[in-house]
Amino acid sequence: MDSLLLPKRQPGVVVARLGKRLRSLLASRAARRHALVGSIRHWKSRREFQISFLKRAGLRPDQHLLDIGCGTLRGGLPIIAHLDPGHYYGIEVRADVLAEGRKELHEARLEWKRPVLRVEPELSPLDLGRTFDVIWAFSVLIHLTDERLEDCFRLVASHLADGGVFYATVNLAPPHDGTWREFPLVFRPFEFYADVAARHGLATKDFGRTEDLGVASEDPKIRAAQHMLRFER
């Protein structure tokens, strides 16, 4: 058949198709990466919720934020983009997971924001050399044993700036433990967290269920129990 009779592809159409394929490829890569820290189907909604919640709570670009359990930067990336250079600190217990976070940062071309990313197997004793206006722990406290929770609050109390706030998601229910991958999955009543916080000089407020705030777990047991708590001096 004469090639002149074949429809010609417009350059713009080709570029658009390539762009769509590239976006699809990057999205699938990101999904596999963020599956290391949670649901592969809901990583985008969890990313969007974190920056949305923090902005609604008043997070300013000039403030310093500590992200406990920053993982693959599923939630950290838009926070880094929002903050001034050098104002995001992320700590993570798993070196291989944080290595994926560094790849995420590179692919997003946000290395110029100079976030501090550290592998820290132990939360206490740990001195990061500064205090923070906001400390953030999304889907972290729910995986801490009681002993490691004490270490976490010791870290928070020693690094929270005057007037600073600590936000964390927890599962509020009668005490019982399960597992998620290699981590424990804990459920504790509100009074338990309030008592731990009080021992470290912090007051506790329940912001309500995360489902009502805009994000929900696939697990109905967790969805019914997960709340956002706020701690301050």
Contacts by 181-184, CB closer than 8 A, 24 or more apart? 183/143, 184/143, 184/144, 184/145
pLDDT digits (tens, 9 = 90+) for 174-231: 988 877 566 789 999 999 999 999 999 999 999 999 999 998 887 888 889 999 999 9
- Which pLDDT belongs to residue 44? 85
Residue written as token pair 């104002």? 87
- Which pLDDT belongs to residue 62? 98
Please give the Cα distance from 200 to 166 (Å, whole number): 13
- Which residues share a beta bridge with 90? 67, 117
- Which pLDDT belongs to residue 29? 59
pLDDT digits (tens, 9 = 90+) for 31-88: 554 554 445 555 688 889 999 999 999 999 999 999 999 999 999 999 999 999 999 9
Domain spans, the chain: 42-232
Confidence class for position 96, pLDDT limits 50, 70, 90 = very high
- Which pLDDT belongs to residue 5? 44
Please give the Cα distance from 219 to 200 (Å, whole number): 32
The CATH class for the domain spanning 42-232 reads: alpha beta
Task: Choose between 24 and 142: higher pLDDT.
Answer: 142
Which has the minimum average pLDDT: 121-130, 134-143, 216-225?
216-225
Please give the Cα distance from 74 to 100 (Å, whole number): 10
- Closest by Cα among 180, 162, 170 to 209: 170
DSSP at 189: -
Residue written as token pair 């999955």? 185
Sequence-ordered list of residues with C-beta below 8 angstroms from that of 232, at least 6 positions apart, any chain: 160, 163, 164, 165, 166, 202, 203, 205
Confidence class for position 132, pLDDT limits 50, 70, 90 = very high
Task: Name the token pair of 218.
Answer: 């696939």
With beta carbons less than 8 A apart as the criterion, state whether 132 and 65 touch.
Answer: yes
Tell me the residue type at 21.
R
Which has the minimum average pLDDT: 83-97, 143-157, 217-231?
217-231
Q: Is the pLDDT of residue 25 over 80?
A: no
